[in-house]
Structure 1
Amino acid sequence: MKLFDLSGEIALVTGAGSGIGQAIAVGLAEAGADIACFGHLSKGGLEETVAKIAALGRRGLAVPGSVTSKMELETGIACIERELGPLTIAVNNAGVANATPAETLSQEAWEKLYDVNVTGTFLSCQTEAAVMLPRRRGAIINIASMSGSIVNRGLTQAHYNSSKAAVIHMSKSLAMEWADRGLRVNVISPGYTLTPMNRRPEVAEQIKVFERDTPMGRMATPEEMVGPAVFLASRASSFVTGIDLIVDGGFVCW
């Protein structure tokens, strides 16, 4: 459908080397966009994502950098615009997660997670908006989590949960600041998803609990975040800004 067609669009996806980020990058390419994959080259995955994009007949570009560095983001976006064209879509997916009881959580661990999940997301939005706002056109999608709205039973992750809540409210705030200048900002909040981290044998029993507690009786696949991303990136959502689209199999209803 033409409403969902991204032909001619240039998209940036942070954390595109695996999991949800890789699935969204490939999915946006399937919808017609050319894709820049931003992240750490040393961890691998970005080149694999670019190869998947190229196999679809779209242009792909691996851009090294960290979302915690404003300079690396600016350099990366300049490279994207030079190699691919004017940036029109950004999916800020880069993030970290772990669980530690609050009473033993170190200040260093708290700050490290917030530096990536909150500061990194803000710097990404700020840098992307710097090129989008003058053109009065663009769509930014920030990846948060249902954990920004609920507290996951049995998981000790006050730092992670609160960081994702910050991403959600920050996105709404940015959406309101930029609404009259052609730039839309929205959020996708995944529920429990079968990313590589959740496919490890040591978490197999925990996965059973996640599946049991989800009304649809299973976890999401990373590819199930593609449809929401294409919707929020495309003309199909032209009057949508400032929303938190929870994709959780009904989890937050219970």
Structure 2
Amino acid sequence: MVEKGLFDLTGKTALVTGGGTGLGRIMAEALAEHGANIAVCSRNVTHGLETADFVTAQYGRKAEAYSCNVAVEEEVIETVERVIEDFGPIHILINNSGTTWGEKAEDMPYEAWRKVMDVNLGGTFLMSKYVGRQMIQNREGKIINIGSVAGIKAEPADVLNAIGYSTSKAGIHHFTKDLAMKWGEYGISVNAIAPGFFESKMTRHVLSENQEKIIRKNPLKRLGDPGSLKGAALFLASRASDHITGQIIAVDGGSSL
């Protein structure tokens, strides 16, 4: 048996938003593989149940799924209360839920802009607020926000034309730094992962038209792979990152350089 040491999450509970599919599921599996029990929340609870069932079958961890729209405060409050009732303290929060809207800035409906902001920024704030309250009481916690390379550098319109998404992710990056400053005294670390292009439902359309161009411009000449994201999430969730907070880690093959 391999000694996990600094990366051992045995006895920890992780709440992963948007954990039913894509990058969220990848990160939930990574934490479960190293000992964490997993609470998954998703607007589509069926996907969340698939993740929870896989985690239990594959790794023998306790796992539950919850239906939650992270942009609705009442649903966030109820979900956090239910997770604490079912699992006890939440030690790790991964704010992964997100949405996007591809459109020229001059043509984007304001309703679309608001939807992206409400889910990406608003949901990250609400989950952090209500999970953070019990982390403050317990004086420990790891919060991992999922930003994006799109929030670090601007892309030309022919690669990514989603100004609301990019702006929301830049906001998440600063929210991460500000919250890390405010909550460090309580033993809470707040960091962010900024993925580059990975194959997912959200990136499917962009990659279908621009994958060769994106790979060609990437210093490592490839898209992201699940292992890369698993490593970053595990690092930030574990004791290995105990002296790291307020940082934005780009997992992008160097595309943000």
Q: Is TM more than 0.5 here?
A: yes
Q: What's the CA shift string for 1:18-74, capped at 9, x where partnerless? A: 1100000111000100000011135x3111101111021101100111111222112
- Normalised to the residue count of structure 2, the TM-score between the two structures is 0.94
Distance across 2 between alignment mates of 1:149 and 1:222: 21
* Corresponding residue for residue 18 of structure 2: 15
Is contact 1:19-1:222 (8 Å) kept? no
* Corresponding residue for residue 217 of structure 1: 221
Distance across 2 between alignment mates of 1:198 and 1:178: 33
Is contact 1:16-1:22 (8 Å) kept? yes
Is contact 1:194-1:222 (8 Å) kept? no
* In the alignment, structure 1 residue 176 sits paired with structure 2 residue 181: yes
Q: 2:164 aligns with which of 159, 162, 166?
A: 159
Q: What's the CA shift string for 1:118-173, capped at 9, x where partnerless? A: 11111111111011101101000000001111012322222111110000001110
* Corresponding residue for residue 107 of structure 2: 104
Amino acid at match of 1:103: E
Distance across 1 between alignment mates of 2:20 and 2:52: 9
**Further displaced range: 94-103 or 202-211:** 202-211
- Secondary structure of 2:14's aligned partner: strand
Is contact 2:101-2:112 (8 Å) kept? no
- Secondary structure of 1:251's aligned partner: coil
* Corresponding residue for residue 46 of structure 1: 48
After the TM superposition, which segments of 4 or more aligned residues of structure 1 sit over 3 Å from their partners?
196-200
Q: What is the alpha-carbon root mean square deviation over aligned residues?
A: 1.4
Is contact 1:24-1:223 (8 Å) kept? no
* Corresponding residue for residue 115 of structure 1: 118
Distance across 1 between alignment mates of 2:108 and 2:44: 29
Shift of 1:203: 4.4
Is contact 1:10-1:87 (8 Å) kept? yes
Distance across 2 between alignment mates of 1:176 and 1:100: 35
Compared CA separation, residues 199 and 107, structure 1 to 2 (3 A): closer
How many residues were matched structurally? 251
* Corresponding residue for residue 65 of structure 2: 62
Shift of 1:224: 2.2
Is contact 2:100-2:202 (8 Å) kept? no
Distance across 1 between alignment mates of 2:148 and 2:179: 18
* In the alignment, structure 1 residue 228 sits paired with structure 2 residue 228: no
- Secondary structure of 1:45's aligned partner: helix
Q: 2:81 aligns with which of 43, 66, 78?
A: 78
Distance across 2 between alignment mates of 1:140 and 1:217: 31
Amino acid at match of 2:56: A
Amino acid at match of 1:236: A
Amino acid at match of 1:250: G
- Normalised to the residue count of structure 1, the TM-score between the two structures is 0.95
Shift of 1:85: 1.8
Q: Which runs of 5+ in 1 are unaligned?
A: none
- Secondary structure of 1:102's aligned partner: coil
Is contact 1:15-1:38 (8 Å) kept? yes
* In the alignment, structure 1 residue 192 sits paired with structure 2 residue 197: yes
Shift of 1:205: 3.3
Distance across 2 between alignment mates of 1:41 and 1:151: 31
Distance across 2 between alignment mates of 1:234 and 1:243: 15
* Corresponding residue for residue 132 of structure 1: 135
Distance across 1 between alignment mates of 2:185 and 2:207: 46
Amino acid at match of 1:173: D
Distance across 1 between alignment mates of 2:201 and 2:226: 10
Distance across 2 between alignment mates of 1:104 and 1:223: 38
Amino acid at match of 1:188: I
